[in-house]
Amino acid sequence: MIDEPARVLYTQGIMVIAIKKGTPPEEMRAFADILEQQGVTVHISEGASQTILGLIGDTSRIDEERLRAQRLVEKVIRVQAPYKRAHRQFHPEDTRIAIAGPDGGTKYIGGGFLGIIAGPCSVESRDQIIGIASAVKQAGAGFLRGGAFKPRTSPYSFQGLGEEGLDLLLAAKKETGLPIVSELMDISHIDAFDEVDIIQIGARNMQNFTLLKELGQRRKPILLKRGLASTIKELLMAAEYLIAGGNEHIILCERGIRTFEDFTRNTLDLSAVPALKRESHLPVIVDPSHASGLAWMVPALAKAAVAAGADGVMIEVHNNPETARCDGEQSITPEEFAGLMTALRKYAACEGRSL
Ligand code: PEP
Ligand code: MN
């Protein structure tokens, strides 16, 4: 048996209507109302160069020929990909995720804005997280990361400080004004994530459909990491679960995949960046830390990611990588991070993108 959101996706076509330039907005809205009377939901996406109507629901009763005959219709397309609302056809412009900062300002990821997320693999102590947060902020990071609930391969490894870790992360947010990113592993912890600005779904949970369905009901931005052995299509289908539930605030993250190569912890699939950006309107960031597992390789991969069109990077930074309780080998120091930021600023500037 196929479960409900998937069944809806596969059996009910999504239709996209491109509206002719210069169409008066009232005329377009009246047209959208007529379509809605035929039992579909119309999603209007007004871009700078093109307005698109995305029809969701049972489009089987909509007569395509008649649509094409309408004066205001430029083109009618049926989206064939199984990921429909994540597809760029549905929303031709880049999606820009807005995150309200604690200082009253708004930060963006996507649509020309690079999101630079930095911080330790896991929150270890008040001094550690506040010290790193201040250093990465000083260097120009836009967001602070820190794991409180850690998905560890061994049950004997440090599992994170849990709720205490989130409290410390919130203290660092208060101190620095940086919005925070942290991984949610179990929906039963959701209440503790109230003040977490971006919820991370880790690689190991990318296909935890129960979790995805729950998060689809919320309006929190989600950082969705690609599974260790997931295809680009599977990542987009995971995003589709969130969008199908109504949560469109998604940032995709390429973090390396399993291959035969064992020089690096994983293999950074940089081709996923242009592929995802071509297929989807969602912002795409790269995590070179988990991709390589090697601190010395992180700056090169981070620069390559931005050059390949990524909308940001997520970097593990630790004040003392040698004593880190998790992922020290792949963590760069605040000084190294500051050096990387100098380079990333130049890359961003030459492409006309903002940090
Ligand atoms: C992390 O970012 O801390 C993490 C565990 O990453 P991933 O899920 O990509 O392994
Ligand atoms: Mn880590």
Instruction: List, in order, residues 6 or more apart from 25 with CB less than 8 Å away.
Output: none
CA of 273 to the centre of ligand 2 (A): 21
pLDDT of 40-89, one tens digit each? 999 998 888 889 999 988 887 888 889 999 999 999 998 888 898 999 99
Relative to the CA of 204, which ligand 1 atom is closest?
Answer: 8
Query: Is the confidence at residue 2, as pLDDT, over 80?
Result: no
Closest CA to 285 of 255, 323, 311: 311
Ligand 1, CB within 6 Å, residue ranges: 121, 147, 151, 183, 202-204, 225, 255, 290
The domains of the chain are located at 4-79, 97-350
Query: Is the confidence at residue 110, as pLDDT, over 90?
Result: yes
Q: For ligand 1, atom 6, which residue shows the shortest CA distance?
A: 202
Q: What is the CATH number of domain 97-350?
A: 3.20.20.70
Ligand 1: which of 183, 205, 207, 289 to mutate, most ligand atoms within 8 Å of CB?
183
What local confidence, expressed as pLDDT, does residue 14 receive? 82
User: Average of pLDDT values for 133-138?
Assistant: 98
Query: Is the confidence at residue 8, as pLDDT, over 90?
Result: no
Q: What is the pTM of this model?
A: 0.90
pLDDT band for 321, please (50, 70, 90 cuts).
very high
What local confidence, expressed as pLDDT, does residue 193 receive? 98
Distance CA 57, CA 254 (A): 31
User: What CATH superfamily is the domain 4-79?
Assistant: Phospho-2-dehydro-3-deoxyheptonate aldolase; domain 1 (3.30.70.1140)
Least confident of 97-101, 145-149, 168-172: 97-101
User: Average of pLDDT values for 158-172?
Assistant: 98
Query: Is the confidence at residue 6, as pLDDT, over 70?
Result: no
What local confidence, expressed as pLDDT, does residue 12 receive? 55
